[in-house]
Amino acid sequence: MKETRLSGLTFLRIYLRSFLLQSSWNFEKLQNLGFFYLILPGLRSIYGDEIPADVRQRHSGYFNTHPYFAPLVAGTVLRLEARQLAGEESEVDAETYKSMVMAPFAAMGDALFWGGVRPLAALLGLLVASQGSLWAPVVFLVLFNLPHLLFRGSGLILGYTQELRAIETVQKCRIPDLAIRLKESTTVLIGVLCAYLSFKGCEHQELSAAWGFVLLPVVLLFAWLAHKGVTSLFLVLLTTSSLLLLALLF
Amino acid sequence: MVVGDYLLAGIVAMLTGLDRVALVQIMISRPLVAATLTGWVLGSPLVGMEIGMLLELLWLGRLPVGAAIPPDDTQVAVGATVLALSVGPTLGLSGMPVVILSVLIAIPLGKFGQVFDRLARHVNDRLAVSGHTALMAGDIAGLERNHLFGLISFAFASLATALVIVLVGSFVLYSVAPVLIGAVQEAGLSLHYSLIMVGAAVLLGTINVNRSASLFCAAFTGTMLVLWLK
């Protein structure tokens, strides 16, 4: 039997459905319905409208990965399903592959997108916003979504065309290293933003800019407290009450 | 603000809330975007953006990993913007002081978002069971329906959070504004900058990078010197 190839329209449907992966996120099986919903157009192309019960069973169980990596997993899973139906042998079956990659891909996605790209884009957006420009949210959205949307699309194609070799390709991209570089850039931007705000604060209070350096140890102290588990809410209350008390007293 | 404005704000609350987990995730749920969007539909995008700036970094380091549910900064941003633009004018307040007061009142109420979000996910537990049952019975449309119904629980959770923030926040703002407004006006811009810097410090403390302190200090000192000597 010849292997079924997915059409461009099916890829488009899967890509669009990836935006709904987490619509029924639940504590029991996390993204289980979402993953089946995601690959459904592909399964229909492979098996027709009557999807076999064992296929339905193996793709509706526990599933959890980073939402932006899900199309990559979906691409490989669909290719493995098509090959299995065509009687071709593969090193691992679709179910094993899924359970093998979902956790590492989740960790990579969290580090890259939530820990790397998002804070960096937010910091750049804030620097634009601090100039009073209403373009700030647009800058943030564009900077974040360019890599995000490209990653979803290319992940789907990569997963389908390279199958299991997609894992090697992802490894070669050195995503954890890239995430660290992005975090380092974010740290530098935090310094730039804090210095800019300190300078503006001194300017506003008609103080010498040298006083701005006083805030450096204060920010470091707060960062240390946050690192030790002190909540943002507590730090906000501490700062606000101190400043309001000073304003009332002097 | 008229009823139509509140309805528009409610729609923004649901759409941005859905973006947090359930739909698309293009980050219109980030405070900088959600607050500006709310301000824009209510006629004051700049007020929204100022609120978004204050809130953007506070919980940015809290990753939405697995079953972890961070405080709902999206609805804090939407709710604070509605408070500033609805209650502020009725008290004769505008500008930075009312922005700061609204944000300070809305921040603790973000905890309600965690409660409602958890409830929505428990509702989805049932959808997952019925969706799976439908699938095993060969009713694929049933699975799709159950999956998409999950959007409704997330949308209602967002709306409920925004409502609590606006209702409780209005009561608190009416109560504390006459007492605190003088001090907030006095502290004004310092308070504004400080809140952003608290967010920056929290992000710095949770970013988990070796050498983060030295990188931060070098960037801070370098920028200060450039601005000072310019």
Tokens 């993953």 belong to residue: A35
The answer to whether B22 contacts A184, with C-beta atoms less than 8 Å apart, is no
> Is A192 within a domain?
no
CA B149 to chain CA mean position, Å: 24
> Is A215 within a domain?
yes
CB < 8 Å to B71, chain A: 233
Cβ proximity of B126 and B67 under 8 Å: no
Domain stop point among A182, A199, A229? A182
Question: How many distinct structural domains can be found in chain B?
Answer: 1
pLDDT of B168 above 80: yes
Of the candidates A114, A148, A209, the beta carbon closest to that of B63 is on A114
Q: Which residues contact A19 (CB under 8 A, 6 or more apart)?
A: B23, B24, B25
The pLDDT assigned to B122 comes to 93
Q: What's the CA gap between B14 and A112, in Å, rounded? A: 27
Same domain, A131 and A228: no
Residue A16, chain B, CB below 8 Å: the answer is: no
Compare all CA atoms of chain A with the CA of B187 and give the residue at the minimum distance: A247
Same domain, A17 and A139: yes
> Is A3 within a domain?
no
- Mean per-residue pLDDT over chain A, rounded: 92
The residues that bridge with A26 in the sheet, in sequence order, are: A30
Compare all CA atoms of chain A with the CA of B97 and give the residue at the minimum distance: A244
Same domain, A66 and A147: yes
Which three-class secondary structure string do you get for A41-67? HHHHHHHCCCCCHHHHHHCCCCECCCC
Within 86-145 of B, beta carbons closer than 8 Å to A belong to 104, 107-108, 121-122, 124-125, 127-129, 131-132, 135-136, 138, 140, 143-144
pLDDT band at A244 (very low <50, low <70, confident <90, very high): confident
Same domain, A67 and A177: yes
Same domain, A89 and A132: yes
The answer to whether A110 contacts B65, with C-beta atoms less than 8 Å apart, is yes
Q: What's the CA gap between B81 and B84, in Å, rounded? A: 5
Helices and strands per DSSP (H, E), number in chain B: 8, 0
- Under DSSP, is residue A26 helix (H, G, I), strand (E, B) or coil? strand
Residue A136, chain B, CB below 8 Å: the answer is: yes
pLDDT digits (tens, 9 = 90+) for A65-94: 999 999 999 999 999 999 988 888 888 888
pLDDT digits (tens, 9 = 90+) for A143-195: 999 999 999 999 999 999 998 898 999 999 899 999 999 999 999 999 999 99
pTM as predicted: 0.93
Better-scored residue on pLDDT, B97 or A186:
A186
pLDDT digits (tens, 9 = 90+) for B170-205: 999 999 888 888 888 877 778 888 888 899 999 999
The pLDDT assigned to B183 comes to 81
Output phi, psi for A26, to 5 deg.
Answer: -140, 160
Torsion of CA B114, B28, B50, B203, to 10 degrees: 60
> Is A31 within a domain?
yes
pLDDT of B67 above 80: no
The pLDDT assigned to B214 comes to 93
CB < 8 Å to A130, chain B: 53
Cβ proximity of A176 and B205 under 8 Å: no
Q: Which residues contact A133 (CB under 8 A, 6 or more apart)?
A: none
The answer to whether B21 contacts A212, with C-beta atoms less than 8 Å apart, is no
Which three-class secondary structure string do you get for B184-228? HHHHHHHHHHHHHHHHHHHHHHHCCCCCHHHHHHHHHHHHHHHHH
Helix B212-229 to helix A175-204 angle (10° resolution) is 40
Same domain, A112 and A232: no
pLDDT digits (tens, 9 = 90+) for B103-127: 999 999 999 999 999 999 999 999 9
pLDDT digits (tens, 9 = 90+) for B127-167: 999 999 999 998 999 999 999 999 999 999 999 999 999 99
| A146-153 long-range Cβ contacts below 8 angstroms, 24+ apart | A147/A117, A148/A68, A148/A113, A148/A117, A148/B25, A148/B26, A149/B26, A151/A68, A152/A15, A152/A18, A152/A68, A152/A71, A153/A15, A153/A71
- Under DSSP, is residue A22 helix (H, G, I), strand (E, B) or coil? coil
Mean pLDDT (whole number) for B20-30: 94
Residue B147, chain A, CB below 8 Å: the answer is: yes
Domain stop point among A182, A202, A221? A182
> Is A190 within a domain?
no
Same domain, A96 and A49: yes
The residues that bridge with A63 in the sheet, in sequence order, are: A30
Same domain, A128 and A166: yes
Question: How many distinct structural domains can be found in chain A?
Answer: 2
The domain in which residue B147 lies consists of 3-229
Of the candidates A132, A195, A236, the beta carbon closest to that of B220 is on A195
Same domain, A150 and A215: no
- The DSSP secondary-structure symbol of A112 reads I
CB < 8 Å to B193, chain A: 197-198, 200-201
Residue B64, chain A, CB below 8 Å: the answer is: yes
The domain in which residue A59 lies consists of 8-182
Cβ proximity of A20 and A71 under 8 Å: no
The residues that bridge with A33 in the sheet, in sequence order, are: none
